[in-house]
Amino acid sequence: MLVFHQISVLQEHLKQLRNQGMTVGFVPTMGALHQGHISLINQAKAQSDIVVCSIFVNPTQFNNAHDLAVYPRTLEADSQMLDTAGCDILFAPSAEEMYPKLPTMKFDFGALETVMEGAFRPGHFNGVGIVVSKLFHIVQPDKAFFGQKDLQQCAVISCMVNELSFHLELVICPTQREEDGLAMSSRNRNLSPEQRAIAPFLYQALNNAKASLLQDKEVSEVKTELAEFLRNIEGIELEYFEISDFDTLQPFHGTLSQNSGGGKIALCIAAFLGKTRLIDNIII
Ligand code: AMP
């Protein structure tokens, strides 16, 4: 695997590969890699000639200084994992390389970012838009691979790709989970053993809510049930639980049988275990 730290050197190398007719699959990450990330690498390998993975802990998408400070950084181990997985190129720029000066322009994703992560992490999706658009311009991939684990991020990037006519295809890959159901996440490493033991209750809470919706219970009742379920688990503090239209991410009302459009519904949760904030979602 080749490792690049500089934008211009990476671009020169990719230009040569593209001139040889090779297609490029791109997996942007913030490192501290786990099997969820590797599943994206595997998809990219299956669908492209060359796989590029970026590792960059993007300061502009953190609205919480503590979260940025404790975000795990494990470049050496990540590099080995990527090499073993058959990734061709790792792009690991410094913050100075990506932002010689902090960007002044702003992304506004409208209603897509007034809910959930956008509402609780002000400025987060502006930072995501800036870094992902920059990375797309640098790598110019044919396909870019993202995880459904970050559902709202997928919606925001899809909006950006469409509205700004990025010439690439987005591929959304399923959430990879630990055996007990906990969605894999770089932040799981910051959990104490006690917190790790109760973390799977988030996924269980989502599945309980799904079962209640399938019994045709009202959204409001299902939300109350979930809040009650998690209130009884010491160490988990619910931040939000939303039942949303999958495409618009706007709140879904009523019962499933009243869902005349029959579109997909997303159940999305964010919760704190101590200082560690975890998110997850499932789709009906
Ligand atoms: P991150 O390093 O957390 O920014 O994630 C990089 C990419 O990996 C994003 O597209 C995430 O949605 C995706 N990802 C993170 N966790 C998982 C998971 N458990 N399963 C599948 N994809 C994931």
State the CATH number of the domain containing residue 229: 3.30.1300.10
Last residue of a domain, one of 147, 173, 199: 173
Nearest to 53 by CA among 4, 100, 125, 126: 4
In the residue annotation, 253 being an active-site residue is answered as no
**Among 5, 37, 167, 253, the one annotated catalytic:** 37
The number of domains in the chain is 2
* Alpha helix (H) residue ranges in the chain: 7-19, 35-47, 65-70, 75-85, 95-98, 116-120, 124-139, 151-163, 193-198, 201-214, 219-231
Q: Establish whether residue 150 lines the binding site of ligand 1, counting it when its CB lies within 6 angstroms of any ligand atom.
A: yes
Last residue of a domain, one of 120, 146, 173: 173
Q: What is the predicted pLDDT for the residue at 248? A: 94
Q: How far is the CA of 65 from the centre of ligand 1 (A)?
A: 21
Numbered residues of the known binding site for (R)-pantoate: 61, 153
Within a domain: 181 = no
pTM: 0.97
Q: What is the predicted pLDDT for the residue at 261? A: 77
DSSP state of 40: H
Q: Are residues 90 and 151 in the same domain?
A: yes
The encoded tokens of residue 253 equal 């009302």
Domain that holds residue 213: 186-283
CB 25 within 8 A of CB 141: yes
Q: Establish whether residue 183 lines the binding site of ligand 1, counting it when its CB lies within 6 angstroms of any ligand atom.
A: yes
Q: What is the predicted pLDDT for the residue at 262? A: 78
Sheet of 169-173, strand order: 2-4, 89-91, 50-55, 24-29, 143-147, 169-173
Q: What is the predicted pLDDT for the residue at 236? A: 98
Q: Establish whether residue 37 lines the binding site of ligand 1, counting it when its CB lies within 6 angstroms of any ligand atom.
A: yes
Q: Are residues 11 and 130 in the same domain?
A: yes
Distances (CA, A) of 188 to 58, 216, 230: 19, 33, 19
Q: Mind listing the pLDDT tens digit of every residue in the chain (284 residues)?
A: 999 999 999 999 999 999 999 999 999 999 999 999 999 999 999 999 999 999 999 999 998 899 999 999 999 999 999 999 999 999 999 999 999 999 999 999 999 999 999 999 999 999 999 999 999 999 999 999 999 999 999 999 999 999 999 999 999 999 999 999 999 999 999 999 999 999 999 999 999 999 999 999 999 999 999 999 999 999 999 999 999 999 999 999 999 998 877 789 999 999 999 999 999 999 99
| Residue among 43, 150, 282 whose CB has most ligand 1 atoms within 8 A, to mutate | 150
DSSP state of 262: -
Q: Are residues 233 and 258 in the same domain?
A: yes
Within a domain: 237 = yes
Q: Are residues 161 and 196 in the same domain?
A: no
Q: Are residues 211 and 142 in the same domain?
A: no
Q: Establish whether residue 146 lines the binding site of ligand 1, counting it when its CB lies within 6 angstroms of any ligand atom.
A: yes
Where does residue 185 rank: exposed (0-12), middle (13-18), buried (19+ CB within 10 A)?
buried
Q: What residue type is assigned to position 27 of the chain? A: V
Q: Are residues 146 and 9 in the same domain?
A: yes
Q: What is the predicted pLDDT for the residue at 11? A: 98
